[in-house]
Structure 1
Amino acid sequence: MDHPSGNTQRLVTVAARCGYTAKGMIYITIGWLSMMAVLGMGGRNGGSSEAISELATQPFGSVLITLLAIGLFGYTAWRLMQALFDAEQKGRDWKGILTRLGYVLSGVIYAGIAINCVELLLNSGGSSGSTSSHTREVMSHPGGIVAIFLIGLGFLGVGMRQIWRGWHHSYEKNWHLDEMSRAQRLIAANVSRIGLTARGIVFMIVALFLCLAAINTDPSDARGLGGALSVLAEQPFGPWLLGLVAMGLIAYGGYCLVNARFRNVDA
């Protein structure tokens, strides 16, 4: 498929940069809420739905949620463009196809979050349901238990990949490094390493509970992002663990903001 150019590419650039900004704001909010919970200053352990609900309570909350929805739809469009036009040059072998399918899945997930924003604006609930309820629905279908186990393995693989990327700086090949000063490179590298590691750890916890839900055929065993953070809080030295991961998720939000500014988004 031919790559877009001119006005189409400019639209793709705007969509991608707005998308990374919106994604970054969600993770910064998730991390901030968890940090406030650790410090006993309110807050809570939650995922994207809780982050969106919190942003909606702020001054000009409706404006924030509207901008967030626009950004997330933009991120969805960028992910689909990555898959269709092979912007990352992943190729058409089995690894490339799987990677590009991952882009599509990521786009669908963030489209769901964007729809959640719209529902909240329309006062029609704004809740996408719990992880356990979604797991129960999938497991009720033939082959659903196997599907949940495979999804868990998928989260495990993504989590491990995130940690690997954080420590090997593979993300830098997608940045316009020539536009960054030496100080910016150093800060961006450290923020990205911390953020990707924290997100990888959380994804691996989510993977563990999804696999357990499949093995035990019990949907209530499944945990989403918020559930994974709560599990950390319940461990020995839980507040310290949760605090470190919360700071890591804030750092991941920073990594997204670096992508919003410096990432190559040519389709």
Structure 2
Amino acid sequence: MALSVSPALPSPSEGIRTLARFGFAAKGIVYFLLGGLALLAATGMKGGQTADKEKAVLTLQELPMGRWLLGLVALGLFGYVIWRFVQAVRDTEHKGTKPMGLAKRLGYAGSGALYAALALYAGRAAVQGAPPSSSGNGRQTLVAKVLEFPLGEWLVGAAALLTIGIGLYQIYRAYAGKFKKDVDSSSLSSEQKQLVERTGQAGYTARGIVLGILGYFLLQAALNSNSQEVQGTEGAFDLLSSMGPAVLGIVALGLMAYGVYQIVRARFPMLQV
């Protein structure tokens, strides 16, 4: 009598890869929406706004089956969070245990924590069918508490310089080609590879500019001992808009490109777990 063989279950590594790919796709959608809204604002078109990531994901609710789409993005973001913590704990990038390597691994965990908050926000909005209640500007509240510490201004100043440094590194990563190792381009033509590379360069440059502005806001808060100086992505877009709609539009297109690159990364991942 023939024995039936049940299909093999995916290994833990395959499961983590799948979570990571969903995460990259969800992150790409968030950035594409973020840049798209800013581009509409720069061109004066209906629906445009300088928004943060929370407001950007909420625009999905306006689409057919919007709550389901928002829920899928939330699940994808949770996948990205898990992948970030796997990177930190299992050292999938081989950063090692020296101070610089540990700092980078801590950065992976920090990124995971930030996206966990966004994933929770999107998930609650999908379940409730309405934006979750907000208790005010969380960044300003946190910075206000830190400023009350001994040497609080120095702590906020250090965070500002770190944020600016990360922003500059994103720009360096764009033009040094560091990001190219994240995409398995073996099945792409030379023209497709070049297009992916240009998209990544534009995306990482725009992201670096926005992070640099966020660091500038933090630095002003430290120098003036005033948490009200702290702004999020929305404030960064407003600052860019004050320089002219063309400036805002260029950065917005760059963020959309970053979103597209993350979606390409989801389709052609280069992952080690």
Superposed CA deviations along residues 98-146 of structure 1, whole A, max 9, x for unmatched, are 1000000000000000011122132472547423334324434455433
Task: Please show how residues 130-169 of structure 1 align to structure 2 within 5 Å.
Answer: 130=137, 131-169=139-177
Correspondence for 2:245: 239
Superposed CA deviations along residues 72-107 of structure 1, whole A, max 9, x for unmatched, are 000000001111111111111111111000000000
Correspondence for 2:238: 230
Correspondence for 2:3: none
Does residue 1:265 correspond to 2:265, yes or no? no
Distance 2:135 2:14 in 1: 32
Q: 1:26 aligns with which of 23, 30, 46?
A: 30
Distance 1:128 1:11 in 2: 36
- SS of the residue corresponding to residue 205 of structure 1 reads helix
Does residue 1:80 correspond to 2:81, yes or no? no
Does residue 1:14 correspond to 2:14, yes or no? no
Distance 1:209 1:262 in 2: 36
Distance 2:17 2:135 in 1: 29
| 1:99 counterpart letter in structure 2 | K
Once structures 1 and 2 are overlaid, which stretch shifts more, 182-191 or 103-112?
Answer: 182-191
- SS of the residue corresponding to residue 186 of structure 2 reads helix
- Following TM superposition, by how much is the alpha carbon of 1:162 offset from its aligned partner in structure 2, in angstroms? 0.4
| 1:18 counterpart letter in structure 2 | F
Does the CA contact (< 8 Å) of 1:26 and 1:48 recur in 2?
A: yes
Does the CA contact (< 8 Å) of 1:116 and 1:126 recur in 2?
A: no
Correspondence for 2:58: 53
TM-score normalized by the length of structure 1: 0.92
Task: Please show how residues 124-203 of structure 1 align to structure 2 within 5 Å.
Answer: 125=132, 127=134, 129-130=136-137, 131-203=139-211
| 1:246 counterpart letter in structure 2 | A
- SS of the residue corresponding to residue 179 of structure 1 reads coil
Does residue 1:91 correspond to 2:96, yes or no? yes
CA distance 1:150–1:128, shift in 2 (3 Å): farther
Does residue 1:40 correspond to 2:50, yes or no? no
- SS of the residue corresponding to residue 178 of structure 1 reads coil
Does the CA contact (< 8 Å) of 2:52 and 2:233 recur in 1?
A: yes
CA distance 1:141–1:64, shift in 2 (3 Å): farther
Q: 1:254 aligns with which of 256, 260, 263?
A: 260
Alpha-carbon RMSD: 1.8
CA distance 1:203–1:9, shift in 2 (3 Å): same
Does the CA contact (< 8 Å) of 1:233 and 1:239 recur in 2?
A: yes
Does the CA contact (< 8 Å) of 1:116 and 1:127 recur in 2?
A: no
Superposed CA deviations along residues 129-169 of structure 1, whole A, max 9, x for unmatched, are 42333432443445543332222112111101100010011
Does the CA contact (< 8 Å) of 2:50 and 2:238 recur in 1?
A: yes
- SS of the residue corresponding to residue 92 of structure 2 reads coil
In structure 1, list runs of 5 or more residues that go unmatched: 1-5
CA distance 1:242–1:89, shift in 2 (3 Å): same
Does the CA contact (< 8 Å) of 2:157 and 2:218 recur in 1?
A: yes
Does residue 1:212 correspond to 2:220, yes or no? yes
Q: 2:115 aligns with which of 95, 110, 118?
A: 110
In structure 2, list runs of 5 or more residues that go unmatched: 1-9
Query: How many residue pairs align between the two structures?
Result: 261
Does the CA contact (< 8 Å) of 1:18 and 1:75 recur in 2?
A: yes
